[in-house]
Structure 1
């Protein structure tokens, strides 16, 4: 009996030592590494490990000072606040954690030298044309990673709209030549980070690890390679980020650091009903909005599977800001697109954008404000004279109002101007914007019906819409496959179908949009049209930064001019089915009389004199550059 008792004591001591040893196994330190030489010298490290809050951390390294330590509500978290002096030498240093039993563990953390100066990070602007890609649906460059053991979603079936189809980072790398040759200067893939969700994990917006590339898309090295090759091709990379929410399977959801890490955390833990967002985005600006409406917008969950992050928690706020900066430095990004911009705490979003722009003064961020009201879109742009004094620090917003105006202008058929006044008056709203040329315009995107579907499968109207997007004083974005008339007419608005596969992105595809094989005449026509306009646009200062003058639509024709120096570009939208003459005397103030202009598409020349006979419905693009 005495022997058994002593054995139990020994076993208990072994178990205690094993427990202490387990606590020494640090699971995560985030950010994964950092850099020397930021404007803000502070760095906050999230440290996760079993009972790590019982350990006492210390740092002994020249130029690195541990300023404070914060325990999480969970015993498995520590937050270390470091100050990194500007003169600190890059390299690795140890963070020492002393356990209660006086044993220590060392974690090696690395500070890198920055690859380039802060002002060398040039964001996108009105000289760029952005190609938006849903990676799972663009091209499958590596079939080995189509399904990854251990991840929850094992669906792989191209016949199912909401299953994974296998597109990946390698697929984008393999077709950079196509994107460049088309005339695009910037690539925006929807999120490539891990979405370890049980279903519909293909779209990327339910992130379960903010520092990990989804292995079905590839690796961090592959992402870096994509960024590098984009740069080598003279293009920029925009990263799609999500500050509002994460996926319900995010690693921290099983052990939340604080009691207020996510909104409605108590309800979530007690398995009570979760309040959904009311999606009343006007509550951000509405001077009459109730506290309830504001709270439900900002604290309500976007959907059941996407927990709403609490940016009012200062540790969460810092985590999100540092994560964005980490990706900018790691990939040398040319911009960020921020999802669901009006949903998080708006004061935090100002701090987030401000922190980034402080470090990268020439950078660009575009925020998604899905509203048809230009007052709301303009509110979020930096420099706006908002009545409440709000300063967003956000350079660009997404122009949903103008997208809506373009569709309405082309679909409606009022007697006098055949609906084109919708586009004319939409552009007239630019007086409201601080810098309209920084706003991002698009014909369609990954969340709405394809433009060809919105325009009732009329490919002539589709070309008119694309020309408008590329000629307006804006930053244009084109959705992948729009150039070959991809459509969701079978189920309009169905997200899985909107994000359909790009023809030729998979082995044995019978139609290949990369080579033109199997495309219809209409598809080839639109693809060639877009390619010509994009490549002209690349070198057009008039379109990039020129003055804009437009004339009110008459008789179903809308004419817009872009001018810079001796370059004038003319866009003529004509909705008449029968031949019509355009009286050029109306445009005498443009100073084009008797000048020779070239058709950008056909390359034919005309003299700007007398009435211009227009035989066909559609768009005419003319330039004084011969």
Structure 2
């Protein structure tokens, strides 16, 4: 009673004061202002905040706190209503469905958790205004070039955050390829000029979220908190600063997400909300009791079960419900609360960090119907956004299945704009490594591109020659610089979105142990104080490394302004005598890419290419900048590739 009287007099006083102003507050506004003194009595509320103005006006809050299921939540805020409250199997969870009307104003409000015989618990929740229209979240496309970075191995911009004593992995050891080395978000931010000057327009860092695992946490793919930046990479403020500085430079930030699994040390693994929150949860719970989690059921990796019309149900489950590895529990997206949680988490990061794109890890491993819903919900809210999905297959039919717009026999629509083109990567390496004959060598690259008829929009595929999970391209091509240049130049001419891994520009390799993940993700020279070489300044680099850096820089910066490469018609000619020619054409611009695998010089009869209309035109070699009139015969002096353009100014 005393509490109510006090509140009444406070309301009267506030209202009297308000009436003296030009824009007096209503009684409801006064009450709201009085009761929203910031309080966070609960352990965890996720998402931690939200925004007004989404097309989807529903929001589901995950509440985690001891015995929270015994409480009764209430909200008094104009435009926000509780539609339903769900209890979980664990008494320490509630899931609250909110409806946020179109007319709701931004602000804070208290969620009051009433409980008998105890003081009420209060959590102050914030609804924000959206800082930019949904249409302004513009994704990547074939005019972009993406720089992929393993953050722990790129640059240590802030040594003070290297070690956190509260986390399970407490050491920095640069001599150990599987330990943390100290690279962080600040290290990326510090070198944005270097990345942009090379000619890249977008950056994809491997995951930056909390990975509080006992070992191997540097790679980021075993999340233990989906709403927290790992403090060894920095803070949320560091991440937002990176995004902001990239935006000012006209660059795009792509976030690496994982919908399929989490790390075994994820906070909820110690108190799972439902009996089906993760796949094979009964085995995990038994293992926990026996203090043995070494033998979970691992996925079969038979990814074709997603498309195979003859696949058995047991094979489908073995693929989609098995754990990726023993340290990564498989999330069950068929649980509607897990599904909602994952979708909201993605939207929260897009809105918070103003992302331009998401790269979704292990795309075929989660429930495929959920993945369609996930991508669809995001694209519904952000119509110009981009999502790229990892499907590690060299079969174009499987890649094509996952792309939005492909007419699948089973009627499946993925809502995914950009699958990853592992098939083309494989063909490029084979084509350059294999000896020339009628059926091997450059013809394999030619046939790889000829498969584009299978894709709804081949220009939206993301293509690459290597990444963080496979040997460096210089290693795959057996240390052959000419072939490495040919692979990269061809990559950058394709009707695709190209991605290049950090260090490729200086011929980083893994010759000692090809395919070793820790070695593939080696430290970028110059990213640490005291490094003997510095790739950012070229100090200490070999002549070959400097030459490759200049080579890529010239192509990438030319590519930035080439409409023919971005959106032009593609014409290629079947390889003959160890030579393969590709043309990109748009209006008055023609780009010519020629790969020559002959060790010695060869005379190329250009009359075969007369349909390209280059007779009488002047072309420029974009690497050495020499100009010449298109000849009837072109002498290719050495093995490798050349790029010519009718843009000579």
TM-score range, shorter chain: over 0.9
Partner of 2:310: 288
2:104 aligned with 1:82, yes or no? no
Alignment correspondent of 1:526: 548
Give 1:459 shift: 1.0
Is the Cα contact below 8 Å between 1:129 and 1:185 reproduced in 2?
A: yes
1:138 aligned residue: 154
Residue number in structure 2 paired with 1:360: 382
Aligned to 1:245: 261
Q: 1:71 aligns with which of 60, 74, 87?
A: 87
Tell me the residue number matched to 1:124: 140
Question: Residue 236 of structure 2 corresponds to which residue in structure 1?
Answer: 220
After TM superposition, list the pairs within 5 Å mapping 1:514-553 onto structure 2: 514-553=536-575
Give me the whole-angstrom Cα distance separating, in 2, the residues matched to 1:384 and 1:176. Answer: 37
Looking at structure 2, the residues matched to 582 and 484 of structure 1 have their Cα atoms a distance apart, in angstroms, of 31
Which residue number corresponds to residue 364 of structure 2? 342
Q: Which residue of 1 aligns with 2:613?
A: 591
CA distance in structure 1 between the aligned counterparts of 2:464 and 2:48, rounded to whole angstroms: 35
- What pairs up with 1:384-463 in 2 under 5 angstroms? 384-416=406-438, 419-463=441-485
For the Cα contact (< 8 Å) 2:41–2:123, is it kept in 1? no
The CA distance in 2 between the partners of 1:34 and 1:433, in whole Å, is 37
Match in the other structure for 1:11: none
Q: Deviations over 1:491-544 (max 9, x none)?
A: 000000000000100001111100011111111111101000000000110000
Runs of 4+ residues deviating >4 angstroms: none
Question: 1:154: Cα distance to partner?
Answer: 1.4
Which consecutive residues of structure 2, in runs of 5 or more, have no partner in the other structure? 1-39, 288-292
Structural mapping, 1:438-517, within 5 Å: 438-517=460-539
Give the secondary structure class of the aligned counterpart of 1:597. Answer: strand
Question: Match of 1:154?
Answer: 170
Distance 1:377 1:155 in 2: 40
Equivalent residues in 2 for 1:31-46, closer than 5 Å: 31-46=47-62
TM-score of the superposed pair, with normalisation by structure 1: 0.95
C-alpha distance in 2 between matches for 1:362 and 1:270: 46
User: In 2, distance between residues paired with 1:592 and 1:574?
Assistant: 20
Contact 2:41 2:122 (8 Å CA) reproduced = no
How many Å separate the matches in 2 of 1:559 and 1:510? Answer: 41
Q: What's the C-alpha RMSD, in Å, of the aligned pairs?
A: 0.9
Aligned with 2:634 (options 602, 612, 617): 612
CA distance in 2, matches of 1:255, 1:231: 40
Distance of 2:54 and 2:438 partners within structure 1: 58
- Say if 1:381 and 1:393, in contact at 8 Å, map to a contact too: yes
Taking the aligned partners of 1:143 and 1:611, their CA distance within structure 2 comes to: 58
Take 2:214 and 2:111, find their aligned partners in 1: how far apart are those partners?
A: 36
Deviates more, 1:103-112 or 1:413-422: 413-422
Q: Deviations over 1:536-555 (max 9, x none)?
A: 00011000000000000000
Following TM superposition, by how much is the alpha carbon of 1:224 offset from its aligned partner in structure 2, in angstroms? 0.5
Does the C-alpha gap of structure 1 residues 418 and 610 become closer, same or farther in structure 2, counting only changes over 3 Å?
Answer: farther
Find the counterpart in structure 2 of residue 270 from structure 1: 286
Preserved CA contact (<8 Å) 1:469 1:476: yes
Distance 1:258 1:549 in 2: 55
1:572 to 594, 609, 615: 594
Query: TM-score of the superposition, structure 2-length normalised?
Result: 0.92
| Equivalent of 2:332 in 300, 310, 333 | 310
Q: What secondary structure, in the 3-state scheme, does the structure 2 residue paired with 1:211 have?
A: strand
In the TM superposition, residue 60 of structure 1 has moved relative to its aligned partner by 0.8
Shift of residue 149, structure 1, vs aligned partner:
1.2
* Aligned equivalents of 1:353, 1:415: Cα separation in 2: 43
- Give how far 1:289 is off: 1.0
CA contact (8 A) 2:42 2:121 kept: no
SS of the aligned residue for 1:270 comes to helix
Q: CA deviation at 1:87?
A: 1.5
User: How many residues of Structure 1 are paired with residues of Structure 2 in the alignment?
Assistant: 603
Alignment of 1:300 with 2:316, yes or no, is: no
Report the equivalent of 1:163. 179
Deviations 1:261-297 (A, max 9, x none): 0001111001184211000000001111111110011
Tell me if the contact between 1:418 and 1:575 (Cα under 8 Å) persists in the aligned partners: no
Q: Secondary structure at the match of 2:85?
A: strand
CA contact (8 A) 1:412 1:419 kept: yes
